[in-house]
Amino acid sequence: MTLRQIVTLPDPILRRKAKPVTRFDADLQTLIDDMIETMREAPGVGLAAPQVGIPERVIVVEYAEDEEDEVAPKKLYVMVNPEIKAASEETEEGIEGCLSVPGWQGEVERALAVTVKGQTSRGKPMKVKAKGWMARIFQHEIDHINGVVFTDRATKVWKPQPEQAPLDNV
């Protein structure tokens, strides 16, 4: 596995819609493994292939139900060609950061629950029903493969002051 460089704004790849994955091969698995290692090292809770310079529809998300519990196991999701198939009408504003927009945070309104369909790294169909913070992460990462950055959706964007607690980057 290799750590990949995370691209940041204004890199144009972050503004392009990523291509669907059609080959489920060793190269795809290498990309996924590298993305997982890069996300964990950053550290972040999600990463999309365009964020490492690859214009393909691949995301990784790692989430623990109880983020406060240091020993709570995290669940890793790898999804190829993900699409939001359903979203709750109920939304919530929340604070987001992004590995591709370092040093900035913003308030973004997102659906409280989503159903995401896609494929596994081997091309098998998969579906994830996500709520709360996990739903926010999936929406954020799927935005990336559609050429959208959180600042595009934010109602307010700011640079946190040094005394503010750091926020997980998605």
Torsional sign, CA 79, 82, 87, 92: positive
Angle at 96 between CA 90 and CA 97, to 5 degrees: 160
Single-letter amino acid code for the residue at 170: V
Cite the active site residues.
141
**9 C-beta neighbours (distance < 10 Å), count:** 14
- Please give the DSSP secondary-structure letter assigned to residue 112: S
Q: Own/partner pairs for 27-36, CB < 8 Å, 24+ apart?
A: 28/58, 28/80, 28/121, 29/121, 31/56, 31/58, 32/58, 32/60, 32/78, 32/121, 33/1, 34/1, 34/2, 34/3, 34/4, 35/4, 35/60, 36/1, 36/60, 36/62, 36/76, 36/78
